[in-house]
Amino acid sequence: MSRVYNFSAGPAVLPEEVLKEAAAEMLDYKGTGMSVMEMSHRSKAYQDIIDEAEKDLRELMNIPDNYKVLFLQGGASLQFAMIPMNLKKNGVADYIVTGQWAKKAYQEAQKYVKANKIATSEDKTFSYIPDCSDLPISDDADYVYICENNTIYGTKFHELPNTKGKTLVADVSSCFLSEPVDVSKYGVIYGGVQKNVGPAGVVIVIIREDLIPETVDDTVPTMMQYKIHADNGSMYNTPPCYGIYICGKVFKWIKKMGGLSAMKELNEKKAKILYDFLDQSKMFKGTVEPASRSLMNVPFVTGDADLDAKFVKEAKAAGFENLKGHRSVGGMRASIYNAMPIEGVQALVEFMDKFEKENS
């Protein structure tokens, strides 16, 4: 067996310890004589798994008691519709469009509410986060929406927008649990877990209780009503059982690593190694304005598509996987989520340095 350094944007690298534990428990979970995959979601063993996962997540993120934690399906993309369907009161919502995922959310919302694009960075291929200190927030906006870390473009809101008192909704799929967060500043925080937390198939929604409506339009499918999931402890129907179990293990791993401040420190260290290299390189260039750089996703280019392709090919042969950039940006992208060891980033930079010397 040999493991590669996996720089995939998602599904992405998971802590090796978690994978080993899951492997050890595959045939017999804690004396039950079965895998978690085979277990009734109504069993005591599974109830303990989901309860403990929620408890650990609450502890890690310091989630206030007036927020619900929901483990749902449909990926982050289903939330693009669930959010306007459930949060709609006046039927108006403001969107800050800083990349493809924010744009998709904005477009989906138009089906259900009057969605306004109040800021965007599309003019420069989403390579920066616009100034959000004084935006034209709609007086009747039900919420203001952001994608906090832009997975494809490698930008991050380092300061939350001034929503002028309106509810903030954030897609944190690619920065989930990467640093401490003040949950009370948000109405809804949600993310697909396959970037930084677990296997694809689970989306976690953290929502302030008063935002969960008692009633919604009768055209809203039952499975898309927050209230149904909140009232049933995420078990209205069969939840993504195995995925939640792995997320629970990742929460414990992060706790053991020292929690979210320790995670942030490590992530800053890893990102600095890569950005420092890019800043001094004559061949490789980061594509993002320095003030907007993400700690998680780092896109870079050589400026020559053939050389980019050669780099990706040789990197793959050397054990660095999934470095090809998103098709809309080109070049390369290294996603260096929580579970990417610092050695992986160091090894990548050494490889880039060697490649630069050999090809210039």
Ligand X SMILES: *Cc1c(COP(=O)(O)O)cnc(C)c1O
Tell me which residues are annotated as active site: 101, 171, 195
Residue number closest to ligand X, CB atom: 75
How is residue 55 written in tokens?
A: 């408890």
User: Dihedral angle at the C-alpha atoms of 34, 22, 191, 176, nearest 10 degrees?
Assistant: 150
CB of 151 to ligand X, least distance (A): 3
Q: Give DSSP secondary structure letters for 49-83.
A: HHHHHHHHHHHHHT--TTEEEEEESSHHHHHHHHH
Per DSSP, 183 falls in state G
| Chosen residue from 87, 171, 249, 287 binding ligand X by CB under 6 A | 171
Q: What's the closest the beta carbon of residue 102 comes to ligand X, in angstroms?
A: 8
Of the pair 283, 336, the CB lying nearest ligand X is at: 336
Minimum distance of ligand X from residue 101's CB (angstroms): 4
Beta bridge partners of 170: 146, 189
Which positions from 48 to 87 touch ligand X by CB under 6 A, shown as an x/- string? ---------------------------xxx----------
By CB under 6 A, the count of residues binding ligand X is: 12
Answer for which of 155, 173, 322, 335 binds ligand X (CB under 6 A) is 173
Which run of H or E residues covers position 203? Answer: strand 203-208
90 neighbors 167 (Cβ within 8 angstroms): no
Number of other CB atoms surrounding residue 239 within 10 Å:
22
Query: Cβ(299)–Cβ(154) under 8 Å?
Result: yes
What is the nearest approach in angstroms of ligand X to the Cβ of residue 99? 8
With helix as H, strand as E and coil as C, how does 76-97 read? Answer: HHHHHHHHHHHHCCCCEEEEEE
Q: Residue 66 — φ and ψ, nearest 5°? A: -85, 20
Do the Cβ atoms of 228 and 205 come closer than 8 Å?
Answer: no
| Region binding ligand X by CB under 6 A among candidate stretches 81-89, 166-174, 279-287, 311-319 | 166-174
| 10 near ligand X, rule: CB under 6 A | yes
Closer by beta carbon to ligand X, 163 or else 297: 297
Whole-angstrom distance, CA of residue 335 vs CA of residue 295:
9
Q: Which CB atom, from 292 or from 302, has the smaller least distance to ligand X? A: 292
Binding of ligand X by 174 (CB under 6 A): yes
Interface with ligand X in residues 93-132 (CB under 6 A): 101
What are 74's two structure tokens?
A: 């449909």
Whole-Å CA distances, 223 to 90, 181, 205, 220, 251: 23, 28, 14, 8, 26
Say whether residue 196 binds ligand X (CB under 6 A).
Answer: no
Q: Which of residues 282-341 bind ligand X (CB under 6 A)?
A: none
The residue from 6, 86, 151, 338 that contacts ligand X (CB under 6 A) is 151
Contact 183, 61 (CB under 8 A): yes
Six-digit token string for 350: 């050494």
Residue 121: both structure tokens together: 């960075």
Q: Which residues bind ligand X (CB under 6 A)?
A: 10, 75-77, 101, 147, 151, 171, 173-174, 192, 195
